[in-house]
Structure 1
Amino acid sequence: MTGRHGLTGTGALLHLAVRRDRVMVPAWVLVMTLVVTTSAASIGSYYDTVASRLELAASIDTNTSLRALYGPVHEASTIGGLTAWRMLTFGAALTGLMGLLLVVRHTRDEEETGRLELVGSGAVGRRAPLTAALLTAFGASLAVALFLALGLAVQGEEVAGSLALGLSFAAAGCLFATVGAVAAQLATTGREARGIASTVLGASFLLRAAGDAAGEKGPGWLVWLSPLGWVENLRPFADERWWVLALTGAAAAALAGTAYALVARRDLDAGMLPARPGPARAGAGLSGPFGLARRLQRGTLAGWTAAYAVAGLVLGATAEGAADLVEENPKVADVVREMGGPQSLTDAFLAAMLGLLGMVAGAYAVQAVLRLHGEETGGRADPVLAGAVGRLRWAAGHLVFAAFGTVVLMLVGGAAMGAGHGVVAGDITGRAVSTAGSALVQLPAVWLVGGIALMLFGLWPRISAVGWGLLTAFVVIGLYGPVLHLDQWAMDLSPFTHLPKVPGEEVTAVPLAALTALGTVLGAAGLTGLRRRDLG
């Protein structure tokens, strides 16, 4: 161990981490701030009187599904109170996800690629990488809190409540950053570490949802078993409980201490959990580039599929209640119909939620395509391509998952949504089949997003991350365009705007064929560029 406390070189590593995240972290902070402040503005626009806000809160309190999704309303008379109800749980979860991803990225991923071994050969202490990673995640979480609080305060919301809402996000980010730190010491790969930490985050969300759904008449104490339940009980804009920050701080300190103890006890590149030895020879399923791609992509697809099944069930089960709630406010009903079509509010809500699942499936498509970029920059593509495997065969193995993996996601998500709605409507099988078919309408836009990512990777690999930025823009247009009443030309920038809004609207082949053809052309351009450019 170099240095008295093993922290030598922390400053240099922190500077390196900040430089590597100079795009990702500001983008995350900006998106979080815009989403919350835009939600506050829309709530103020559609519920512009105290009476309308109190009526909304009364409806929410009797809707178990909405309580499970968002939690209870602690303060309904103010716009800030409803904003906290609408955004706190999901915003805190997303900030927690950011924190754990940052820590794993700068610790276990660095060990797995061998870069940390090179850095550690110099004047770098054993605990310096972990410290730099935690400081990066803590700084990013506090930046979310600062900009979010400023954004709400500028809109005229109460300063104390705005600060409390921002700090609830930051507390979750810091706490789950330390969860990621512990996971990075336990696992031997970055993927395993992210899986462990994400599982803890998911379990925390489910515990909170179960406790909030039960309400005062059930085991509401389940909320206090969840870190997301803790930050929910900070109660921004509702006589804030500042002492909750001490609870999350103590938990984060304990987890950070555990991570520091573990990092001093294990070997570099090794995890505390023993790695399982693989078979002496690869099976027949691993032969060829497709077998390798299947091995690399299957875990990711399985995780996404499970998430889509849960999300679909929850969204389907809340459809009737959400439609009844929306129907009471004509302004909100108009927005839902603009997002989901002019049909009944229930069908419009289902169509809007299918559109949301489609936009999120675009993220899977981009991730699956850009796995090619990770294999290239990590040097793992070179041994594969050095043999009798051409570039197009190598790429095709991963592109199969980008194309057909999204089919699996939309089928599972649509069927689960239909089943969840069918439980309420009394027709589980029929609703599951029809909604699954409606979900497939989203695929041409999803494939176009994947085609854009492939084009960027093939022609301009250095800016392939722009694909994430474009997808984010499409999501923002889809979610907030109707709320902000954007001009039609701006709405048309998103491929998802051109899809038929089903169930309810008639499906026409022209936009589906046009989007599919455009995605194919862009993907072909990317493959052409991949064949001709230098690798690495």
Structure 2
Amino acid sequence: MNAFAGTGNLIRFVLRRDRLRLSVWVIALAATVAASVPALDDMFTTDAERQGRAALMDTPTGIVFGGPGYGLDDYQLGPMLVNELTMTLLIALAVFNVLHVVRHTRAEEESGRAELLRAAPVGSGAQPASALITAAAADLLIGALIFASMAGYGLAAADSFAYGLGIGLAGVVFAAVAAVCTQISEHGRTAAGTAFLVVGVLFMARVVGDVSEPGGNALSWLSPFAWVQQARPFDGLEWWPLALYPAAAAVLFAVAHTLAGRRDLGAGLVATRPGPSGAGPLLRGMFALHLHQQRGAVLTWSAAVFVLALSFGTLAPEVESMIDSNPDLAVILGGDTDDLVGGFLGTIGLYVLMGAGAFGALSVLRTRAEESAGRAEMVLATAVGRTRWMGTALLVAAAATALVTVVGGLGLGLGAAVTLEDGGWAGRMVEASLAGLPAALAFGALVALLFGTVPRWIPLVWVWLGYSVFATMLGALLGLPDAAMRASAFEILPALPMDGFETAPFLLFLGAVLVAGAAGLAGFGRRDLVTA
């Protein structure tokens, strides 16, 4: 049988099944750009205002989240859009493509549905091909809409097309990365975690390369996060860097297809080790069981966040040297060197909280997966009560979220402490991470509340998380009102170390998290179990 037999039918099936999910992603990302174009044009109307913004983008924080900063000498609307929006769009596209590919490949094998499909005249490569093609179609549609919104506003058509094309092709590369990662483990969560780790490493490579040398060095060119900006839209457009995207996607897809042919259906390239014949002394009780089930994810996320945070922390000297070489930056940004280093680390700390919040939501969401698979029913048929089963799951999720948050802050602090030769940064950043812990716990608490009361509404958690990330990253730039900014979980509490700690908001937020978790626990005790 042809390896790609049945691909067309699976493409139609994926589009039918995910029509709402795909529409939300496409509309949200395209609308972000469409709204940002007039907002930025209205916000920075004079040359002086735009050059002031360019000075901010030439700081380490601006380079981390804006890229190498092409077009800063004459900061018009086109370069402004490229510098201000690219990293946000690419991170969102990476999340979308990883989740989409894992959902329609590894998750289908794990659930057993792929085996049913393969019993029909469907080739071994049809599922990954259909997942990649549908993801690529959505990516390129997003790119086309970005081109239309920019060109429709009067920006140069060729540069707008190159930018939209680059954004869309970058998404295709992320999908191909996920396709390779799905071959490694037999579990969907592990595959997604591996893909996100690879994306994080690629993002860090771009950051280190761009910060180390104006315009980026060789390390930047190893990352697909860099290529669209290296094409220099609106600043001497060069088309050839965009050719790296289809080349990389083709190579990665070929690797994924080859690896898929070397494993059995439902298995991974890395074989799962058989467990012991009997439970050890530490594997007693529900808390130990939930912790045992999530130990791999907890260790992987903690290690990944620590390494990435440590890497960002080591960039602190770049902040000092940049300010020392250009004292006007301190005047523009309004603070001394220590304050600006703290502001840089605090900004990175917000991204640590975002990662910890996503992990907390996924951790609590395992209860839903256990219920849907019927395993929860088997456990609850024994002498284990509902409160004990779900309550211990929530404790594990809360403890794991706190661990990811703290190790992220510790990584930032240690990186800064070692490179700046100031040991006080380690303690300051751990304190800052603990001060923001309620924001990270909030998403897991909301999952618990909805799981215990109206499980079909759980996707709203991801809507809130997406909005919180959007508002925190772009809200101030787009001039969102205070009420809209406060709807972000990451804008409710003061951000340390830039701001001072406030006890009352911290306790109120933490209390709301505890109430949501308790309400979800009580609701789960009253509703019927649902298996699917």
Task: Please confirm whether the aligned pair reaches a TM-score higher than 0.5, indicating the same fold.
Answer: yes
Q: Deviation at 1:38?
A: 5.6
Residue 409 and residue 134 in structure 1: after superposition, are their counterparts in 2 closer, same or farther (change >3 A)? same
Alignment match of 1:81 (pick from 53, 58, 79): 79
Distance in 1, Cα, partners of 2:145 & 2:447? 30
List aligned pairs for 1:366-385, cutoff 5 A.
366-385=361-380
Aligned-pair CA distance for 1:367: 1.7
Distance 1:518 1:221, change over 3 A: closer
C-alpha change, 1:267 and 1:533, in structure 2 (3 Å) is same
**1:148 aligned partner:** 146
AA of the residue aligned to 2:443: V
Q: Which secondary structure does the structure 2 equivalent of 1:284 belong to?
A: coil
**Corresponding position: 1:399 with 2:397:** no
In the TM superposition, residue 116 of structure 1 has moved relative to its aligned partner by 0.8
* More deviation, 291-300/275-284: 275-284
Please name the residue that 1:469 is paired with. 463
Shift of 1:58: 7.1
Cα contact 2:60–2:319 (8 A) shared by 1: no
CA separation in 2, counterparts of 1:351 and 1:9? 50
- For the residue of structure 1 that corresponds to 2:267, the secondary structure is coil
Describe the superposition over 1:192-250 as per-residue Cα deviations: whole angstroms up to 9, x where unpaired.
433443344334334333433443799x3333333434444332223333233333213
Aligned to 2:507: 513
Say if 2:222 is the partner of 1:225.
yes
Q: TM-score, normalised by structure 1?
A: 0.84
| Corresponding position of 1:271 | 268
Pick the aligned partner of 1:72 from 61, 68, 75. Answer: 68
Which of 285, 289, 296 is matched with 1:288 structurally? 285
CA contact (8 A) 2:101 2:135 kept: yes
Identify which range, 99-108 or 30-39, moves more after superposition: 30-39
In structure 2, the partner of 1:126 is: 124
Aligned length: 522
Segments of 5+ residues of structure 2 without an aligned counterpart are none
* Secondary structure of the corresponding residue to residue 428 of structure 2: helix
Deviations 1:31-51 (A, max 9, x none): 434555566556545654456
Find the aligned partners of 2:25 and 2:328 in 1 and give their Cα distance: 33
Give TM-score scaled by structure 2 length. 0.85
1:460 aligns with 2:454: yes
User: How many Å apart are 1:458 and its aligned residue?
Assistant: 0.7
**1:534 Cα offset (Å):** 1.5
Per-residue CA deviations over 1:128-182 (Å, capped at 9, x if unaligned) read 2122111121112112212322333344432322222222222121123223223
1:486-507, Cα deviation, whole Å (9 max, x unpaired):
4444444345444244335553
| 1:171 counterpart residue number | 169
- Paired residues of 1:293 and 1:398 also in contact (CA < 8 A): yes
Partner Cα distance (2:420, 2:40) in 1: 29
Query: What SS class does the counterpart of residue 187 from structure 1 fall into?
Result: coil
- 2:428 alignment partner in structure 1: 434
Q: Which amino acid aligns with 1:294?
A: L
- Structure 1: runs of 5 or more not aligned: 338-342
Q: Does 1:358 align with 2:324?
A: no
Cα distance change, pair 511–139 in 1 and its aligned pair in 2 (3 A): same
DSSP-derived class of the 1:286 partner: coil
- CA-CA distance at 1:329 after TM superposition: 10
1:45-72 Cα offsets, whole Å, 9 max, x none, are 56544566567657866x6675466432
What secondary structure does 1:285 align onto? Answer: coil
Counterpart Cα distance in 1 of 2:91 and 2:500: 37
Letter in 2 for 1:153: A
Take 1:492 and 1:58, find their aligned partners in 2: how far apart are those partners? Answer: 28
1:459 & 1:446 partners in 2: Cα distance? 21
Q: Distance in 2 between matches of 1:438 and 1:226?
A: 30
**Kindly tell me: are residues 245 and 430 of structure 1, through their superposed partners in 2, closer, same or farther at Cα, counting changes over 3 Å?**
closer
Deviations 1:279-329 (A, max 9, x none): 333433333322232123223223332343345442672665798999759
* Cα displacement string for residues 439-490 of structure 1 (whole angstroms, at most 9, x for unaligned residues): 2122233333332221111101111111111232333344444344444444
Amino acid in structure 2 at the alignment position of 1:71 = G
